[in-house]
Structure 1
Amino acid sequence: MKTPVIQFGTSRFLQAHVDLFLSEGDPARAITVVQTSGDASRSRRLAALAAPEGYPVRIRGLANGQAVDETRTVTSVKRCLSAATDWPEVVRVFVEEAEFVLSNTGDAGYQPRPEDGERAYHPAMSYPAKLYHLLAARHAAGARPLVVMPMELVVDNGKVLKEAVLAAASAQAGTPELLSYIEKDVVWACSLVDRIVSEPLEPAGAVAEPYALWAIQKGAGVVVPSTHPAIELVDDLKEIERLKLHILNLGHTVLVDIWRRQGGEGDPIVREFIARPAVHAELTAIYREEVLPVFAALRQREAAERYMAVTLERFANPYLDHRLADIVQNHAQKIERRIGAFLALAHEVGEEGRRGRLGEIVASVAG
């Protein structure tokens, strides 16, 4: 069976996000999943992902105030390969079958590695270097260009990945024709993904919240692989990025700050912590008094109000054991990116007076 989608990464997020959407979408899409890590211990997961009967995704949480607890079956994954041991078959699928390239290779996926400079393919190469070799093979075979849709949580991920692949091509002394093919013919889409996937199921599958989003920015040649309620083709991805970063992510960081100011004791779960009246009151006051006015200045007040309501519902998910101890990792960096950047945005739109508690949080880690 031909698979028009080739996906790099086997994470539980992908299993409960795009793999589910493409199983349910119109048209349903067949996927070849490629494991990029070379971790032999995950061989059982690979086999289970492509099992003919599919694998389960359990959706648990709140949607429009109603409890949701249901299980869906994902049947989109038809083949699983390893970039370490099945590279010739990966190349064949990429050249002969693929129309869309998806990836979620983690924070380190784009980082250059010493092996990137080797002429021949090496399993330890970074994802952009691997992708360069695959695009070179596709170009050499005369196959038509395809759509690359990275899903890593990197701003302008399509542009960033394109530049990284071009850098790999230049380092490999790729021909002008190949460089032109990569730069002008291949379609590089920017996207943003959002869904909390709380725990894995064994040997494959995951537990996820009801909320899900895959926003893809419009552009020349950009098409969605399937129609699904969670897939949106949008004019401006930055509007959605701001909502996610400065409401959802900012809210997580505010909750961590409140917990730390209270002594950082225990191992609280987000839903239990935000259920405390004083915590809920402080967070909602920050949203209404310091955050929403900035979005109003950006003419996004209604969208921000809706997203804030959804965010508070997600925080209250009765089935999600989302621990503050997990969110606290890299807390200072998160304050800078989520809150410091928001205050800079407030200054840009003439709302620099909106420092309040957020300003105190930034000051707490300054210097």
Structure 2
Amino acid sequence: MEQLSNNYGEFAHFPEKVIQFGEGNFMRGFVDWQLQQMNKQGLFNGSAVVVQPISQGLGKMLKEQDYLYTVILEGLLDGKTVNTSEIISTVNRVLNPYEEWQEYLALAEDENLEIILSNTTEAGIAYDESDALNDTPPKSFPAKLTALLYKRYQLQKPGFTIIPCELIDRNGEKLLAIIQQYAEHWDLKADFKTWLTKENTFCCSLVDRIVPGYPRDRADELNEKHGYIDNLMVKAEPFMLWVIEGPQKIKEILPLQEAGLNVIVTDDMTPYRERKVHLLNGPHTAMVPLARLAGLETVEEVMLDADFSVFVDDLFARELIPMLDLPEAELAAYAEQIKERFKNPFVRHELSSIALNSVSKFQARLLPILLRFYDTKNSLPLGITAALAALIVSYLQEAGNDDAEVLALFAEAKELPTTEQVAFLLAQTKLWGQDLTEVAPLVDTVNDLVQKIHEVGTRAVIKEIHQQAE
């Protein structure tokens, strides 16, 4: 078999309309897949020029396949089994700004490019005071974007519609605030600061689709089925939701709803975000360190495990749902839908892939619930607290897949006596956004749980938590 390329068939290619930061599994299985659905119906007729957020990315691999790859949808949707494979042709090219900085800045010249989308992980929307305008490139994603926007302003071109997909609260607003911070730090013109807010539309958004990515365990079988070798195929569940908070004109710029996609453009995404981040992403983040320390590898294994499935049930019913401001019946129904998605037998959703940037994920997905629970009940949610303890144990045992600054703090903690490690880590505002030692019982409780994890393992810990709650 030959590798997937333009030689494999006739593929429609469209002009670039989207600048996309991020070429990972999620963006290819979510955003680029949606562009394809619009293009097939003649509603968009555009492609994406993709920018690698970091120097080591998938650009070269994509180029080897003429920027083509396959999205495989497997699972249940509306009670029906879906099992499809589709070659996606909406990535036009990939730029590596670490090697092609001038080509990257040249994107500012093209007025056909009017949409900017991003997913640079939860840690991507962050300010780095060491970044400078004359860096080629600056390190952070917001700094790179600021440089591009400033070039666009200098050329007196129209602004962009900017929709970040990072899973942090109010992602569009935070991205804008950091860009404004760079504008101040770099002493950019006052007119640019005005242009930034008047000529550009920064939208907050939330995304929902489980995208396990490359199916290593079935790659040979799927290549045989497709009749070509695809080193970048992406597996995803059929379900998807994209909630965009912004003006209704977005429906015209991106006719996603017209293409029949599950996309909501709204004035207030808060209820959708809280439901999704805490009830879908929260259990993922909670189960990962506990289940991995118990030797489990996938979400499905967690949901089929007698002990861990009970832990997930308890997490929903006792800690997450009671803390959300939506009708309990609606939240319970949504939770059952999520559990069905977690059990999807077609998707091998590896816990190791969810573990990326676990600290920032915990801060965004579970910490607000932990703090709300403590303020409301004057006690700690033990399931979430156990997940925090397991996260700390995991990162101390072996360096997690995380930001260098995060890993440096855990490396520093390892040099301390074991009795001081938890308090040191919980005090780090760079990890949690605040000093968690100020939550009175947290240090002692996490210390106790860390010790229990070392002595009896996470399985025994979650069983004990369940018994205490009965």
- Could you say which residue in structure 2 is the equivalent of 1:352? 377
Match of 2:51 among 34, 37, 41: 34
Check conservation: 2:69, 2:87, Cα contact below 8 A: yes
Which one is further off, 173-182 or 195-204? Answer: 195-204
- Could you say which residue in structure 1 is the equivalent of 2:193? 179
Count of aligned pairs: 356
- 1:252 and 2:277 are equivalent in the alignment: no
- 1:217 and 2:245 are equivalent in the alignment: yes
Check conservation: 1:189, 1:216, Cα contact below 8 A: yes
Q: Deviations over 1:162-218 (max 9, x none)?
A: 111112222222111111111332111111122222122743331112222221113
1:47 Cα deviation after fit: 4.5
- 1:98 and 2:113 are equivalent in the alignment: yes
1:300 Cα deviation after fit: 3.4
Distance 1:36 1:269, change over 3 A: closer
Unaligned runs of 5+ in 1: none
Which one is further off, 339-348 or 243-252? Answer: 339-348
- 1:276 and 2:337 are equivalent in the alignment: no
1:71 Cα deviation after fit: 0.8
Check conservation: 2:101, 2:136, Cα contact below 8 A: no
- 1:321 and 2:335 are equivalent in the alignment: no
Q: Deviations over 1:248-306 (max 9, x none)?
A: 2332345357648xxx43334221232134443443244234443444xx233344233
Unaligned runs of 5+ in 2: 1-13, 216-229, 389-441, 449-470
**Quick one: distance in 2 between partners of 1:24 and 1:58?**
14
- 1:231 and 2:263 are equivalent in the alignment: yes
Match of 2:334 among 307, 323, 328: 307
Amino acid at match of 2:214: P
Map of 1:122-271 to 2, 5 A cutoff?
Answer: 122-200=136-214, 202-219=230-247, 223=251, 225-228=254-257, 229-256=261-288, 259=291, 264-271=293-300
**Quick one: distance in 1 between partners of 2:187 and 2:381?**
53
**Quick one: distance in 2 between partners of 1:342 and 1:93?**
41
**Quick one: distance in 2 between partners of 1:352 and 1:314?**
31
- 1:110 and 2:125 are equivalent in the alignment: yes
Which one is further off, 266-275 or 96-105? Answer: 266-275
- Could you say which residue in structure 2 is the equivalent of 1:292? 321
**Quick one: distance in 2 between partners of 1:20 and 1:3?**
15
Match of 2:32 among 10, 13, 19: 19
1:359 Cα deviation after fit: 7.1
**Quick one: distance in 1 between partners of 2:151 and 2:356?**
40
- Could you say which residue in structure 2 is the equivalent of 1:48? 65
Which one is further off, 79-88 or 321-330? Answer: 321-330
Which one is further off, 96-105 or 272-281? Answer: 272-281
**Quick one: distance in 1 between partners of 2:61 and 2:353?**
27
**Quick one: distance in 2 between partners of 1:42 and 1:130?**
18
**Quick one: distance in 1 between partners of 2:129 and 2:364?**
29
Check conservation: 2:212, 2:350, Cα contact below 8 A: no
Which one is further off, 215-224 or 90-99? Answer: 215-224
**Quick one: distance in 2 between partners of 1:84 and 1:155?**
29
Report which of the two has the higher share of helix. Answer: 2
Which one is further off, 170-179 or 320-329? Answer: 320-329
Check conservation: 1:65, 1:313, Cα contact below 8 A: no
TM-score computed with the length of structure 2 as normaliser: 0.66
**Quick one: distance in 2 between partners of 1:128 and 1:332?**
20
Check conservation: 2:59, 2:96, Cα contact below 8 A: no
Which one is further off, 333-342 or 173-182? Answer: 333-342
TM-score computed with the length of structure 1 as normaliser: 0.83
Query: Quick one: percent identity of the two aligned structures?
Result: 26
- 1:3 and 2:9 are equivalent in the alignment: no
Distance 1:338 1:157, change over 3 A: closer
Distance 1:123 1:358, change over 3 A: same
Check conservation: 1:49, 1:204, Cα contact below 8 A: no
Distance 1:358 1:108, change over 3 A: closer
**Quick one: distance in 1 between partners of 2:95 and 2:356?**
32
Distance 1:153 1:289, change over 3 A: closer
SS at match of 2:55: coil
Amino acid at match of 1:87: W
SS at match of 2:103: helix
Match of 1:68 among 55, 58, 82: 82
Higher RCO (CA 8 Å, separation ≥ 6 residues): 1
Check conservation: 2:212, 2:234, Cα contact below 8 A: yes
**Quick one: distance in 2 between partners of 1:2 and 1:359?**
47
**Quick one: distance in 2 between partners of 1:71 and 1:326?**
22
Question: Which is greater in Rg?
Answer: 2
Q: Deviations over 1:230-260 (max 9, x none)?
A: 3221332221221123212332345357648
**Quick one: distance in 2 between partners of 1:145 and 1:332?**
34
Distance 1:47 1:184, change over 3 A: farther
Check conservation: 1:12, 1:206, Cα contact below 8 A: yes
Distance 1:331 1:365, change over 3 A: farther
Which one is further off, 134-143 or 87-96? Answer: 87-96
Q: Deviations over 1:327-349 (max 9, x none)?
A: 5677777666544422443567x
